[in-house]
Amino acid sequence: MEFNNGTALITGASGGIGEEFAVQLAGRGANLVLVARRADKLAQLHDTLVGKHPDITVDVIAEDLAVPGSGAELENKVRDLGRTIDVLVNNAGVGLHSKFVDQAPEPNAAQIQLNCGTLVDLTARYLPAMTQRGRGVVINVASTASFQPTPGMAVYGATKAFVLSFTEALWQECRGTGVKVLALCPGATETEFFERTGEDFLTDGRQTARQVVGTALGALDRSGPTVVSGWKNSLLASGYRVTPRRLMLAVSERLLKSAN
């Protein structure tokens, strides 16, 4: 798929999968609007990308998308820059790793807002114009946690199941419009995600962000609504569909146990 001279808005772009989306899309000639909380990390990434690709435009916006109303603020800032968004990558997300009863209400509310609320809000703000133009891309980053409940990360798994369901429905609604919609479902990936949860788990078989993003961009040339990154992850995701629910819950809980 061609990205040259288009503009991609990437959330959670200061590291991990979001940063890798920026790197690979810049390599394909896309202009970028990079969004994350950490202004210093965004500035470093801006300088790196512009130095390597002087023909593209890279804008950075520091914004906490876990705050209600942040989607509207971000849209205003993008409008002030004069950018038309051709590609939306809803990558920003967070997870809490512990039993639900041990979690405070406020971080979970922020998790739901970021993983679901702002994702839907930004999609609502940019998808209609894409369909009117008859072209565009929306990539929503879900997870292999989308396919089954996740004891130990109960809210995170539920938010990612929401993202998967929402995105697959959009894929069907957008058929014939010229807009490509994709749910990307990575498994464990070498990013800062695990560090931020404060726990070490799913330590075996982690993919790199480069592998995950390469899978996503390659899937845009195919016709399905969802792509799971990595054959082992694909096999596991498929297996959950035929596994008895009680067994599935036990297996999922065991997989998410802390390695400490």
Residue 66 belongs to a domain: yes
Residue 188 belongs to a domain: yes
Determine what percent of the chain is predicted with pLDDT higher than 90. 77
Please choose, from the candidates 208, 227, 207, the residue with its C-alpha nearest in 3D space to the C-alpha of residue 217.
227
Residue 187 belongs to a domain: yes
* Residue 97 to residues 102, 147, 155, 161, 210, Cα–Cα distance (Å): 10, 18, 9, 17, 25
Q: Residue 148 above 70 pLDDT? A: yes
Residues with catalytic roles: 156
For the entire predicted model, the pTM comes to 0.89
Q: Phi, psi (5° rounding) for residue 200?
A: -115, 115
Range of the domain at 174: 7-255
Banded model confidence at residue 202, pLDDT cuts 50, 70, 90: low
Q: How far apart are the first and last CA of the chain?
A: 43
CA dist., res. 89 & res. 137, Å (int): 8
pLDDT of res. 201: 47
Residue 89 belongs to a domain: yes
Do residues 88 and 122 lie in contact, with contact meaning Cβ atoms separated by under 8 Å? yes
Q: Range with the lowest mean pLDDT among 87-101, 151-165, 191-205, 237-251?
A: 191-205
Residue 202 belongs to a domain: yes
Banded model confidence at residue 199, pLDDT cuts 50, 70, 90: low
Q: What is the CATH number of the domain that holds 219?
A: 3.40.50.720
Map tokens 């390469």 to a residue.
214
* pLDDT tens figures, 6-64: 999 999 999 999 999 999 999 999 999 999 999 999 999 999 999 999 999 999 999 99
pLDDT of res. 260: 38
Banded model confidence at residue 256, pLDDT cuts 50, 70, 90: confident
Q: How many domains does the chain have?
A: 1
Helix (H) or strand (E) holding 104: none
Residue 1 belongs to a domain: no
Residue 2 belongs to a domain: no
Residue 260 belongs to a domain: no
CA dist., res. 90 & res. 66, Å (int): 13
pLDDT of res. 41: 97
Banded model confidence at residue 204, pLDDT cuts 50, 70, 90: low
* pLDDT tens figures, 72-108: 999 999 999 999 999 999 999 999 989 999 999 999 9
